[in-house]
């Protein structure tokens, strides 16, 4: 298929996507400062995150300038590189909180599953584009996803694995997948989740802790109670910067897994509303780009998948912090502290903006 690139206008969905990425990253800096306001070096993590944000935006801009057809041609090479890093984790990775998901590089930690998300999506898009039959798309995509999940489950990182599965289901549906296969996937997912809970008692404790934290207030119910108390302290208008006492004292990983609760305590419901709006505008911008006339099929699918990935991970993180889902270790895109998460999201968005240039 012949393709040609077209120049994007200065004002439009792509500009909004860049602007929203910058604004959301800025709220992330504010959240990290608030989570460390009572620490001996309150600006240490925020300073690192500012460096990550600047580099991440540079990665996003650079990735957007590479022709999307280059990514498509080299998708399997990129997969081998990312997959190789994932396979090396059990041998050379660092174990944190029971999960061997990071490499230690000097004074920094690198989590390869984060940039791998954009590459996984790229390989899934290529597979869906090449396989025209509905059943072939479903089973081929399921097999590809399973291959990606194997090294992730070895860490084990069940939160990221769930995101990969959700992205596969979303993209299959958006590519015109049949309801029969979607119901089959849902049944398989429920069965797998039930088996996982049965084999891992801590998962069941997290579920019971969600619905009745008083059963184990110092164990599985602890995180739930801290979410509730931190968000309740924020109220409508927040406790202001430097006043997030609960996030600094009791909330586990206030700058990362609990970033939304920290932000809610600091800014209140009125303060987090603009963050919701920014995420909504970012996802809407990707969807608007996806439905541009004349866009190549692979490019359209990648934009839809990127919107789904950012949207799903954002909703899961916020739902966990609002005590609507059991606790998991998922970051809030562009806000939670960590260079790997930030770079991974910026790479994903950069490739998505590159896809917006690609016409048939």
Q: Is the pLDDT at 100 greater than 90, yes or no?
A: no
User: Is residue 208 exposed (0-12), middle (13-18) or buried (19+ Cβ within 10 Å)?
Assistant: middle
Cα end-to-end distance, the chain, whole Å: 7
Q: Is the pLDDT at 302 greater than 70, yes or no?
A: yes
Which pLDDT band, with edges at 50, 70 and 90, does 137 fall under?
Answer: very high
Which pLDDT band, with edges at 50, 70 and 90, does 8 fall under?
Answer: very low
Residues 266, 297: Cα–Cα separation, whole Å: 43
Mean pLDDT of 255-268: 90
Is the full-model pTM beyond 0.85? yes
Of 41-50, 139-148, 346-355, minimum mean pLDDT range = 41-50
Of 116-120, 139-143, 174-178, minimum mean pLDDT range = 174-178
Per DSSP, 142 falls in state H
Q: Is the pLDDT at 22 greater than 70, yes or no?
A: yes
Q: Which residues pair with 109 in a beta bridge?
A: 104
Q: Please state, rounded to an integer, the average pLDDT across all residues of the chain.
A: 87
Which pLDDT band, with edges at 50, 70 and 90, does 199 fall under?
Answer: confident
Mean pLDDT of 219-225: 82
Q: What angle do CA 30, 31, 33 make, to 5 degrees?
A: 65
Model pLDDT for residues 224-236, shown as the tens digit of each residue:
888 888 898 888 8
In this prediction, residue 15 carries a pLDDT of: 85
Q: Is the pLDDT at 253 greater than 70, yes or no?
A: yes
What are the phi and psi torsion angles at 104 (to 5°)? -95, 120
In this prediction, residue 240 carries a pLDDT of: 76
Which pLDDT band, with edges at 50, 70 and 90, does 238 fall under?
Answer: confident
In this prediction, residue 74 carries a pLDDT of: 94
Which pLDDT band, with edges at 50, 70 and 90, does 1 fall under?
Answer: very low
Q: If DSSP codes are grouped into helix, strand and coil, which group holds residue 94?
A: strand
What are the phi and psi torsion angles at 291 (to 5°)? -100, 20
Of 176-185, 207-216, 242-251, minimum mean pLDDT range = 242-251
Residues 94, 106: Cα–Cα separation, whole Å: 12
Q: Is the pLDDT at 11 greater than 80, yes or no?
A: no
CA distance readout (Å), 152 to 105, 117, 143: 20, 11, 15
Q: Is the pLDDT at 136 greater than 80, yes or no?
A: yes
Per DSSP, 107 falls in state T
In this prediction, residue 241 carries a pLDDT of: 72
Higher pLDDT, 166 or 239: 166
The count of other CB atoms within 10 Å of the CB of residue 12 is: 14
Q: What angle do CA 200, 204, 206 make, to 5 degrees?
A: 115
In this prediction, residue 166 carries a pLDDT of: 94
Q: Which residues pair with 359 in a beta bridge?
A: 4, 295
Which pLDDT band, with edges at 50, 70 and 90, does 315 fall under?
Answer: very high
Please report where in the chains the tokens 């590459």 appear, as a residue.
119
Mean pLDDT of 213-226: 81
The count of other CB atoms within 10 Å of the CB of residue 193 is: 14
Q: Is the pLDDT at 40 greater than 80, yes or no?
A: no
For residue 306, the surrounding DSSP H or E stretch is helix 297-321
Higher pLDDT, 40 or 83: 83
In this prediction, residue 109 carries a pLDDT of: 85
Q: Which residues pair with 4 in a beta bridge?
A: 359
Residues 144, 231: Cα–Cα separation, whole Å: 40
Residues 239, 251: Cα–Cα separation, whole Å: 15
Mean pLDDT of 158-179: 91
Q: Is the separation of the CB atoms in 17 and 286 below 8 Å?
A: yes
Model pLDDT for residues 107-128, shown as the tens digit of each residue:
788 999 999 999 999 999 999 9
Which pLDDT band, with edges at 50, 70 and 90, does 177 fall under?
Answer: confident
Q: Is the pLDDT at 2 greater than 50, yes or no?
A: no
Mean pLDDT of 77-100: 88
């Amino acid at each position: 298929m012949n393709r040609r690139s077209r120049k994007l206008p200065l004002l439009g969905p792509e500009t909004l996507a860049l602007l929203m990425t910058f604004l959301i990253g800025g709220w992330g800096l504010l959240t990290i400062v608030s989570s460390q306001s009572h620490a001996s070096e309150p600006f240490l993590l925020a300073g690192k995150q500012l460096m990550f944000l600047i580099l991440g935006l540079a990665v996003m801009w650079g990735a957007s300038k590479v022709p999307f057809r280059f990514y498509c041609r080299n998708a399997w090479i990129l997969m081998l590189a990312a997959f190789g890093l994932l396979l090396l984790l059990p041998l050379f990775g660092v174990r944190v909180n029971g999960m061997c998901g990071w490499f230690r590089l000097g004074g920094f930690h690198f989590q390869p599953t984060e940039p791998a998300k954009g590459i996984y999506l790229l390989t899934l898009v290529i597979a869906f584009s090449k396989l025209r039959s509905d059943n072939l798309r479903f089973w081929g995509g399921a097999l590809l996803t399973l291959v990606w999940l194997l090294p992730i489950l070895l860490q084990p990182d069940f939160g990221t694995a769930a995101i990969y599965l959700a992205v596969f289901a979303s993209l299959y549906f958006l590519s015109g997948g049949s309801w029969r296969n979607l119901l089959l996937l849902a049944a398989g997912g429920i069965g797998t989740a039930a088996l996982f809970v049965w084999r891992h008692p801590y998962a069941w404790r997290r579920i019971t802790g969600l619905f009745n934290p008083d059963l184990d207030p110092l164990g599985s119910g602890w995180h739930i109670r801290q979410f509730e108390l931190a968000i309740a302290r924020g109220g409508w208008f927040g406790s202001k910067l430097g006043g997030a006492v609960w996030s600094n004292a009791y909330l586990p990983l206030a700058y990362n897994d609990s970033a939304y609760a920290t932000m809610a305590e600091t800014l209140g419901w009125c303060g987090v509303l603009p963050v919701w709006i920014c995420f909504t505008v970012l996802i809407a911008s990707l969807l608007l780009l996806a439905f541009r006339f004349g866009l190549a099929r692979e490019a359209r699918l990648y934009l839809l998948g990127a919107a789904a990935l950012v949207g799903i991970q954002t909703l899961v993180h916020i739902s966990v912090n609002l005590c609507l889902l059991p606790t998991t270790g998922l970051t809030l895109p562009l806000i939670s502290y960590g260079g790997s998460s930030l770079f991974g999201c910026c790479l994903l968005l950069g490739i998505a903006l590159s896809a917006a240039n690609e016409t048939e």
